[in-house]
Amino acid sequence: MIYFDSAATTLQKPSMVLRAVEAAMIGCGNPGRSGHKAAMTAAKTVYECRELIAELYGMAEPERVVFTQNATHALNIAIKSQLKGGGHAVISGYEHNSVVRPLEMMEGVEYTSVSTPLFDPDAAYEGMTAAVTDETKCIICTHISNVFGFVLPVERLDAFCGEKGIKLIIDASQSAGVLPLDMSKLKNTAFVCMPGHKSLYGPQGTGVLLCGNTDKLYSLTEGGTGSDSKNLRQPDMLPDLFESGTLNVCGIAGLAEGMRFIAKTGLGEIEDKERRMMKRLASGLKEIEGVTVYYDRINHCGPLSITAEDIPSEEMCRRLADKGFCLRGGLHCSPLAHRSVGTIEEGTVRISLSYFNNTREIDLLTAEIRKIMSEEDY
Amino acid sequence: MGCLIILKSITYAQRASGLLSRLRIPSSIIKPPVSLGKGSCSYALKIKYGDMKKAVDAIRGANIPISGVYTLEEGYYREVTA
């Protein structure tokens, strides 16, 4: 099996991730509830992970790192905090349904989706900033499109939000563990949302909400936090406000090892390796007749989409799966992105790498797609 | 004589403990009696009495809220204004 579906979840993890999950299952109690050894071991495990994430993102206060179930959970907290009571949001034309669906469901909330050309960050910036009105409370923007790997100009949008007195929410689902973000410089970013199980190499069931410069914090779930227990109201301090109930300590233990792997390897090395492999893949695929490759040398990072003439994306993925390749076809839960690019009817074949892929695997995939296309008489 | 610095949550206690560690002030995190946490569950940093002022100043300087400071002498807790 050759795995190219890391934009959904990374399958190959650093070996220490697995060991840490097992160790936590054996040795970790419930953090923040008791003072015995098992509880304190769990608390140490969780806090170390907070510190590692805070360090990677330039945050001085680890308590502003909140653990969630996944990026969708984090985005729901972020969006519902920022837009509680209604208001207007501007979103890019490349947002995932985990942004669009909460907006659709919120009463009194309106949003403008700004469709702009692929791999044109200037157009995305101009379009989104032009859509801001006096009613706009926030801009919500993905750092990297989960379909096309388009890197959006979130730093410039943060600066714009400062000029307008509004907030930015960043969906870092595809960039976390690959591209840097410095929260100490993102002065107008209220929240950054990310999964733990993709390029941070943690287990599934882990997500992270970074709480930046905002006082609009609204819990979706209330309950026991192990703190301020006499108070019948939810505590307003972080991370307790957003972490009711028992945490996924085993998952967080694994995530901590994923974070240590990233710190040891270096974001720059990870990005360079993935970009080199992606350039090789895109170059190879572009030579195949009938294949359209959505790639840009500068403004692309992460997932690569292709379409094949006369072969629907799901059919291409099925044929590749028969040969042992794991890829995803269809719309990737991002219809807006496909409307922006014009691939909404059949979707795309998405090829997404991790640090653990290699050039041999890329060449094998390229050769298999070439073979499939030749069988179609191209 | 020891000293307990009461903090509202395990996360605050851990951050404060790390801060003191960087200042070479030894501390351990314990669960204090509920009564010391003003009737709510909390965590405390146990430190030496002689480190109390420096520790409290450092924790407050890092904007970590302190719920109370107590000395522990011969088994009795006494709230102090540090």
Domain ranges of chain B: 2-79
Classify the complex by whether its ipTM is higher than 0.90, answering yes or no: no
Strand segments, DSSP code E, in chain B are: 2-7, 28-30, 43-48, 66-73, 76-79
A228 and B41 within 8 Å at the Cβ level: the answer is yes
A-B CB pairs within 8 A amount to 62
Task: Please check the confidence at residue A377 and state whether its pLDDT lies above 60.
Answer: no
pLDDT of A270-289, one tens digit each? Answer: 999 999 999 999 999 999 99
pLDDT of A316-356, one tens digit each? Answer: 999 999 999 999 999 999 999 999 999 999 999 999 999 99
- DSSP H or E stretch at residue A192: strand A189-195
Helices (H), chain A: 15-27, 37-56, 71-82, 97-105, 121-130, 154-164, 249-265, 267-286, 313-322, 335-341, 359-375
pLDDT of A181-217, one tens digit each? Answer: 999 999 999 999 999 999 999 999 999 999 999 989 9
What's the CATH number where A156 sits?
3.40.640.10
Residues A203, A167 share a domain: yes
Q: How many domains is chain A partitioned into structurally?
A: 2
Q: How many CB atoms lie within 10 A of CB A166?
A: 20
pLDDT of A139-162, one tens digit each? Answer: 999 999 999 999 999 999 999 999
- To the nearest 10 degrees (0 to 180), the angle between helices A359-375 and A267-286 is 20
Let me know if residue A161 belongs to a domain.
yes
Tokens of A165: 């007195």
A180 vs A163: CA distance, rounded Å: 23
Tell me the C-alpha to C-alpha distance, in Å, between residue A177 and each of A112, A119, A196, A282.
Answer: 29, 21, 9, 22
pLDDT of A44-54, one tens digit each? Answer: 999 999 999 99
The CATH fold assigned to B2-79 is Alpha-Beta Plaits (3.30.70)
A237 and B30 within 8 Å at the Cβ level: the answer is no
Residues A198, A273 share a domain: no
DSSP class of residue A121 equals H
A239 and B29 within 8 Å at the Cβ level: the answer is no
Q: Does B10 touch chain A (CB under 8 A)?
A: yes
Let me know if residue A127 belongs to a domain.
yes
Q: Does A34 touch chain B (CB under 8 A)?
A: yes
Q: How far is B38 from chain A (nearest CA, A)?
A: 9
Task: Please check the confidence at residue A15 and state whether its pLDDT lies above 50.
Answer: yes
Tokens of B72: 């522990």
Q: Does A61 touch chain B (CB under 8 A)?
A: yes
Q: Does B23 touch chain A (CB under 8 A)?
A: no
What is the four-CA torsion angle of A242, A248, A251, A257, rounded to 10 degrees? 60
Judge whether A179 and A271 are in contact, CB under 8 Å: yes
For B42, the closest chain A residue by CA position comes to A227
Among candidates A63, A228, A231 on the partner chain, residue whose Cβ is nearest the Cβ of B11:
A63
Domain housing A158: 63-239
Task: Please check the confidence at residue A378 and state whether its pLDDT lies above 60.
Answer: no
Nearest to A147 by CA among A342, A360, A357, A362: A342
What's the CATH number where A294 sits?
3.90.1150.10
Q: Residue B38's pLDDT is what?
A: 75
The mean pLDDT value of chain A amounts to: 97
Among candidates A35, A50, A226 on the partner chain, residue whose Cβ is nearest the Cβ of B30:
A35
Bond prior to A180 in cis (omega within 30° of 0): no
Q: Residue A291's pLDDT is what?
A: 98
A352 vs A361: CA distance, rounded Å: 12
pLDDT of A86-132, one tens digit each? Answer: 999 999 999 999 999 999 999 999 999 999 999 999 999 999 999 99
Residues A231, A312 share a domain: no
| Percentage, residues of chain A above pLDDT 70 | 99
Q: Does B46 touch chain A (CB under 8 A)?
A: no
* Confidence label for B75 from pLDDT (cuts 50, 70 and 90): confident
